[in-house]
Structure 1
Amino acid sequence: MSVLFFLITLSMYLWLFAFSWMYSATDEGVALWWAKFAYLGVPFIPSSIYHFTVTVLESYEQRKRLVWLSWLLSLFFSASILSTDALIKALYQYWWGYYPRYGWLSIPYLTFFFGLLIITLHEFWLGYRQIPSGTTHKRRVKAFFIAFTVAYIGSVDYIAKYGIAIYPFGYVPVFVFLVLAARVIWSYRLVKITPSFAAEQIMATMIDPLLVCDADRKIRVVNEATCLVFGYTEQELIDKPIEYLLDQPTIKTGRRIYELLQQGLIRDEEMVLKTKSGQPVEVSISVSHLHDQDWAIVGAVIIARDIKERRQAEETLRSSERYFRSLIENGSDFIFVLKRDGTIHYVSPSVERRLGFKPEELIGQNSFNLIYPDDIPSIKEAFACAIQDQGIDPPVEARLRHKDGSWRVIEGAANNLLHDPAVAGIIINAFDITERKQAEAALRESEERLRAFANALPDLAFILDKQGRHVEILTGQKSLLRVSSEKMKDRLLHEILPKKEADDLLAMIQTTIELNKPQVLEYILDVPAGRRWFEGRTAPLPQIAHPGELVVLISRDITERKLLEKQLYQAQKMEAVGHLAGGVAHNFNNMLTTVIGYVGLAIDALPADHPVSPDLQMVQKSAQKAAALTRQLLAFTRDQPVELKILNLNDLILEIEPLLRQTAGVATSLVLCLDPALGLVKLDPNQFSQVLLNLVINGRDAMPKGGRLTLTTANVTVGQQNPTVAHGDYVLVSVMDTGVGMTEEVKSHVFEPFFTTKEVGKGAGLGLATCFGIVQQCKGYITVQSELGEGTTFDIYLPRIE
């Protein structure tokens, strides 16, 4: 096909080349010579085109006679140019130059030319219609049909050969034809695939050495790969016996070569050949025989495949298999391969270390039989999702039965490889996490115990970093936190506490970290439980990951202790005052006794109408008042002798009720709320009557415009909630007024002797001090509760006698 296209191109080239010289000739004889030279090739154009056409259309065998007839006619017309002037008898001279003038033979020639042109186009048209659509061949035929149609437009050049002065522009469509034809050849190739062509290409492109031997085992043909692998040139191998390539030729190997060449089809016979340099080459030999028409062996085709890379790949594969088998068999994980219904298709040997079963005991069993009953629903759901989704699913946990009957916690991830023919199952990569779960449970239990212990303690426990950020809050005392523990988490001290307290605590934390020693700090905070005193103690918190960055802060509520310290100070002060007042009272009482005695004797010695008698009586009354005041001082200092009796306070209150109401006055309403089941107490009734009278007087004076005074009795038990009274069972006597109340300053001095808020001359300041002393003599407690403008309540706790 390529030769035919070359002939077409050559004919057209001769035509155009000769005509160009004819146009440029100035001598008519020279121009006529070039015209006849051109027609040595022009008659062959339609024949070569028709031959090319039937070859492209693969119809040469059917059109063979017509093809050769066209070639003979072309040869005839070309020969007539050399022997006669019948085809070209002279020249015309036009404005563009000389041009051939046809003779009588032109009519047969043009009939031949245009007849073959029409036959060629008709062949193309018929062939195009018969070729299946969408094929490369159809597109190629269509392209050639268009190209040759364009080329035949150049036939207009024949008009000028009969004396008609039409410029011969035929070279233009011919040039277009050459461009189109070249494009078709480049795009669709004009290669005829024949057995010999295919064989040549296969040999040239094979990467494996190929040798063809004759019946005498001599090498007749080798491909390029043979030369590259063994290092010989083709000439060095031709006519050499095949044994020439053996690594170590022996009688045995020679006989084996002979057997291979005599046997039938051989596949993958391994042996060792050698290169030109003597290096051994491991190859896999495949042999197929060549037969003549009588089916006798005339030779053999030998393909020698270099198996060095295959051997290396096989060894790498075996090493990889050994490696991964070792991983699977000795790893802590174990692997299941499950079928679609959950049947165990494969399980790795390491399962025996984890579940006690040998692999053969599990293969063929349904995997769900190993799962704890409560875990089966969730595992079946996860297994169904794994079947639907290809790829690796998130890990799930389940309890699997050990051979000894115990249960192990297993974490497994599923990988759906049902679509992979090599696996055709779901791979479960499982890991025994029983010990981890036990450790996690123990850790949670330890954390819960620690949290419960922290919640049971009255102290506040915090873990803070060196910036003062709350890392952990451990406490059950919510009322002692300024904000909830959830809001404190990850917040700084300065975001929660007042600036001064936050600065002090942060400085203590940083000092603890720098010195690696515990620190102590007292501070006051307003919390939901009120204003409280705290003692904070810090200590470094040991850490592995970030040592020296955290501290533990234990804050203890010391409000009760502070109050007790305050009360102790008050008691010590009162005791000192009492000792002083007691000493003065004793001496003063002795002097008053003398005064009262002598004044009495003087009054008795004088007549009743004596003018001095009234003065002496006034002195006697004043001395008696002074004696009463002395007795109050002695009661306060507990130096006055008492007569203790066991009694019911309700009876004592009802007995002195008239005196109490008279003391309260008409503007004050006295209300008694007495517990009928009131317990018994031990005290001096006379002294306690004085206590009640003093409290009623104090309440009355606090309500100058009148009000309500309530006296209550009840049985109470005091526990830890009351820091000022010892724990135990008491009879409570409360005296509550609706008066003006007291300030904190007044409350702190209310039981001190000679302290009074009344005007001068209206009180000596010993009433409440006397009450305090009498109650203490009875081993009781007296407390005061008061708010300015809200009234005052005095509570007396007397030990209850069962």
Structure 2
Amino acid sequence: MLELLTTLLDATSVPPQGYDDRWKTVLVWLQTISDTVIVLAGYSIPLLLLSLRQQQNLPFAKILSLFGVFLATWSTAHILELWTLEYPFSWIVGLVQAGAAGILTYLTWELFRVLPIVASPTHNGSKVTQAAILNAIPDLMVRLSQDGVYLDILESKAIKAFKPMPEILGKRLEDVLPTEIAQTAVQYIRQALTTQEVQVYEYRLDDTDRVQDFEARIVACGTKDVLAIIRDISDRKRSEAERQQTETALTRREAQFRALVQHSSDMIVVVGVDGNRTYVSPSVKAILGYAPEELIGRSAFELIHPEDIPRTQAAFYTAVQQPDAPVKVEIRFQRVDGSWAILECVGSNQLSEPRIAGVVVNCRDVSDRTQAEYEIRQLNEQLERQNRNLEVLVEQRTAELLTFINALPDYIFVVNRDDMRMQFCNDALAQAIGVHSRHEVEGKTIFECFSAEIAAAFAEQNEVVFTTGETLHFQEKYAVVTGTPYLDTFKIPLKRFSGEVYALIGASRDITELVEVRQTLWRQTLELEQTNRELDSFSYSVSHDLRAPLRHIRGFVSALRQQLERGEQVAPKVTHYLNNIDSSTHRMALLIDGLLTLSRVGRHKMERHPVDLRQLVNHAIDLHSPEDDCSIEYQIGNLPTVEGDGTLLQQVFSNLISNAVKFSRDRHPAQIKIGTTVEGAIFIKDNGVGFPMEYANQLFEAFQRLHSQHEFEGTGIGLAIVQRIVQRHSGSIWAESQVNQGATFYFTLNQV
């Protein structure tokens, strides 16, 4: 063996191949082909193994066995090749190499044969992966024919077929979907097959539960079929709709804000960080007189009053440095006419807003308000001065009032409701209580100021006022230090605005003398009533006693005239005497009747009720119309209804109309006018003889006459009766006249 190795290592002992007879032509070709196959297989096998190294299901047992046999054969061939260097076994080596080449060729064949087999598991794994991917895809996949016939359906978890697949496959789109949607789908299918391009469109299905939106992608699969990939885009559509609504609302708000800014009465200015104006609203024209373009791009601090520039700049820099804090400043800004407007400016930092990128300043013209505030301050100062003056005046008037109240002999006091304390009393009451000053009484209760009996009575009276809220009036005697006066007392409640009674004010007047006078008058009245009764009796007796002789005289005169008329001729003087006696007795009877009427008017019991004066006038006219042909024109105006005694008022109109008829009987025609003045006085006017005004006050005295008995008959008592009746009705009567111009009598009554 050692020799063999030495021989192998010694190159000189090995004859060159090809120069020995051992190198035959067949052998050479055998070795050449074997080596070529071995080289090709040697390069192919690693590449195949490298590509298939990650496969787990290869038939390694057979391949590795063949590979092991190849390596053993190949190694043996090389050992024999070394052996043949000394011993010529070239055919053996060639055969061994040929065997190795055959084994290697078979191994390569097996590897190539196994390659598709190995690829099959990989292909199966890809199908699994593809199935997993398809299951994960949220789209519905449908294979359709060019006529819209369902060929295959792959449902997803997100989208299910509209009907079970057995009911859909083989049917047309029109049988499954609404007609309009199916027709649209067929159009897109044909367009995809024609153009071989993906067709994308959207459609909507109205389900019973909700409305769903879908996106369909039509992909041509050859020339006759298409693949429709359908995705549910309802959520996206809703999001888009919501986004659209949001954008629309935002656009609307922006438009509203823009319109608000454009039409705002305030001036809106945007000032950049460099202090220049980048926007000025149109309202600047109305406020300052400038056009917006005149101010845009210019410094925001020009046209500001020099005294206001420092604090305006400070406010601007504060707004820039403190975005969250709005800044307010009041400045004077020069108008286009040179006058100064007072602007209230509020700045808000909007530098972070890209569309604004500045400080937004809202400017409001407060010139009128400032002027009004100035005027208000002036008015307030004036009011303060007036208040001070008023306080002084109130103090003076209060002092005067206290002086006046303390000077009154009446007892004035104020009592609190809660505790019956005397809040105030005047000096007269303090003296009546027995103290020197009212201050000793004020603040004490009525129980501390008066005796227990009087205090209890006062407390009961006060409680009535506090409870009812009404004024209490009473008269009573009280024993005080100054005596036992008879007091007339008023207790008046003092109320808050809510109506609650919080105190009372009282006033007590000493009417002792008045009561005594009243008692005296009462006694005198009783005596006068007794005297009147006696006078009535006397008047009746006198009238009866006077009437009886008058009746006798007139009776004897009448009998004497009759006797004389039956005799012969009577002397004229006798007739004249008899006529005088008759007229005198008649006039005396009238006087007696007048006196009785005048006395009865004063004692007549008044019965007041509404009286229509027009009826009284008509009755008086009928009563005093003359019997001769003398014409009288009456003008009667509006007459009121009055409150009074109808019987007495009838006497008034009867007497006045009778006088008017009597004193105007010489007028042709006689005119009598009856009516009411603007002031409400009733008048009776005639166009008679009239009278001098210096005698106007004597007309209403009894027995006063301005004309002789021969001119106008009468007793002189009628107007006295009229005056007495009018006065009893709380009225007044007067007359106006001129001689030969008539007379007018006026009187007043209480109208209803």
Q: TM-score, normalised by structure 2?
A: 0.29
Q: Larger radius of gyration, structure 1 or 2?
A: 2
Q: TM-score, normalised by structure 1?
A: 0.28
